[in-house]
Amino acid sequence: MTVTVFFGLSLAELSAVAAAVVLVSARWLPPGARRPATWAGAAALAVSAIALAVLGIRWQLTPVLAGGAIALAFAVPTLLGRCPGRPVRRARWWAALPGSAACLALILAGVTAAWALPRPVFPEPSGPYAVGTTVAQWTDPDRAETATSRTEDKRTVVVQLWYPARRDPAAGRAWYLGRTEREARLVARGEADYLGLPSLILDEAARARTRSAPDAPVAAGGGRFPVVLFSPGLGGVRTQSTAWAEELASRGYVVAALDHPYDSAVVTLADGRTIRTRVAATGDRAEDDRRAAGWTAVRAADLSFVLTRLGRLDRGEIPGPLTGRLDIRRAAATGHSLGGAAALRAARQDPRFAAVINVDGFPRDPAPGPFHQPVLALTHDVRPGETPDYIPGLTRVLRLSTATGYRLTVPGSAHLTFTDAPLFLPPLPALVGSLGRTAGPRITTAATAAFLDATLRGESGDLAAALSRHGRLAVL
């Protein structure tokens, strides 16, 4: 695994950058220093390039290596020295300046790309447990797959579980975006296609490893664990909030995150099939609202189905490592964006859920009604004039709960602040907020964990005070 040292760069990458800068700068040094500096830069660039070839060269570093190579090519006469009877030909300063500037621009572009699009480094979970993860695929025999025209197709979901595990220093780390490296790359390409971005934007996310061990033994002791079901955002994938899931698992929760086929950007099934999203906007507000309500209904049914399957898993009716360790009576429906809307709808329709968390999701239930669960809604920092019906509409739905509702607005946040996105996307405030790479996932975990501890575990304490530490709180 490549370890970043500074500015998102590894030691070998930093060496390549330094060597390239030396090669470009050598032309402008005093005459006596030019040849030694050029030799040193050439040697360092060669060693760095070999190291990177062994470790794997990231595309972000190709402009750096190109800038250094171009500078080296123009420095060859300096390296070879003066031939007898022939003067060394060197470009005049005014002719060399544009070339040096272009090489420095390439180097700067590479460093900026490495900083803006780093490989995500997941925070070390702080709880008393290590974290294990496993993936299951379940089919609901009672529901037809509405996204296809084949009547024999039944609704299938892919579920990833993060759970408290035994500590094993020798255990490997799970891939971030899939069960295997191949699946991780497929998911990265599918997500990039869905967002209309070049696939290389998510290259580093596809190579990332998490803090959880695949199929690790469940932690001994601890009794039964509360269950947290999670539905990702529109087009999102089950792993989009892995940092949050791992932290909750380390604190004694089991998190079950869903891939919703034909909705999630890409879903890889056990038989090797890859299902791309069929979700698309029409540009017609009324039609898009109708479609969103339909997708939300399917997702809400998926959440209830998975809760039922987890109950069967706990009873040993289907195989799995968590038999006898799940407390289905203490289950929360949660989700981000459209997944948050699905969590609200699932809670209204399924009283088995004891709590609900909506992470920055606009309600999409066409017939909202009372529900009995306590609810937490995390919202991004809505700017004046932005989606003026969002907060009022959300507040109306939260007030339908017969239990206490909490709406927490996090200053400096954006819609993607509450996911893993700040760990590997460019730190643009409009995209991931202005809280930095790690504050978003940390605040999301702190607020939701406080709510879950109070509602699922019955821990005493001032929940409103705990939540208000992270933003502007309204108690409803």
pLDDT at 75: 77
Q: Tell me the pairing of strands 375-379 and 130-144.
A: unpaired
Q: Which residue has the higher pLDDT, 199 or 374?
A: 374
pLDDT at 72: 86
The region of weakest confidence among 29-43, 79-93, 290-304, 443-457 is: 79-93
Q: 5 pLDDT exceeds 60?
A: no
Please state, in angstroms and rounded to a whole number, the distance separating the CA atoms of residues 276 and 264: 7
Structure tokens at 171: 């255990």
The percentage of the chain sitting over the pLDDT mark of 90, rounded to a whole number, equals 78
Q: Which amino acid is at 272?
A: G
Structure tokens at 335: 């989700």
Distances (CA, A) of 310 to 14, 57, 225: 48, 42, 12
- Could you read off the pLDDT of 103-153 as tens digits, one per residue? 999 999 999 999 999 999 999 999 999 999 999 999 999 999 999 978 889
Reported as type and span, the H/E element at residue 133 is strand 130-144
**Domain range summary for the chain, segments of one domain joined by +:** 4-116, 130-475
Which whole number is the average pLDDT over 156-164?
98
Please give the model's pTM, rounded to 2 decimal places: 0.92
Which whole number is the average pLDDT over 236-249?
98
- Could you read off the pLDDT of 48-70 as tens digits, one per residue? 999 998 888 889 999 999 999 99
Q: How many CB atoms lie within 10 A of CB 132?
A: 26
Please state, in angstroms and rounded to a whole number, the distance separating the CA atoms of residues 337 and 341: 7
Strand partners, 409: 379, 472
Q: How confident is the model at residue 475 (pLDDT cuts 50, 70, 90)?
A: very high
Instruction: For domain 130-475, give its CATH number from 2.120.10.10, 3.40.50.1970, 3.40.50.1820, 3.40.50.261.
Output: 3.40.50.1820
Q: How many CB atoms lie within 10 A of CB 232?
A: 28
Q: Cβ contacts of residue 75 below 8 Å, gap of 6+?
A: 23, 26, 27, 38, 42
pLDDT at 8: 74
Distances (CA, A) of 116 to 13, 187, 270, 432: 15, 21, 34, 12
- Could you read off the pLDDT of 326-356 as tens digits, one per residue? 999 999 999 999 999 999 999 999 999 999 9
Q: Which residue has the higher pLDDT, 95 or 410?
A: 410
Q: Which residue has the higher pLDDT, 374 or 30?
A: 374
Q: How confident is the model at residue 86 (pLDDT cuts 50, 70, 90)?
A: low
- Could you read off the pLDDT of 165-193 as tens digits, one per residue? 999 988 999 999 999 999 999 999 999 99
pLDDT at 80: 64
pLDDT at 150: 84
Following DSSP, what letter does each residue of 199-241 receive, concatenated?
Answer: GGGGHHHHH-B-SSEETPPBPSSS-PEEEEEEE--TT--TTTT
Which whole number is the average pLDDT over 27-45?
88
The percentage of the chain sitting over the pLDDT mark of 70, rounded to a whole number, equals 95
Q: How confident is the model at residue 26 (pLDDT cuts 50, 70, 90)?
A: confident
pLDDT at 35: 84
Distances (CA, A) of 102 to 59, 106, 308: 19, 6, 61
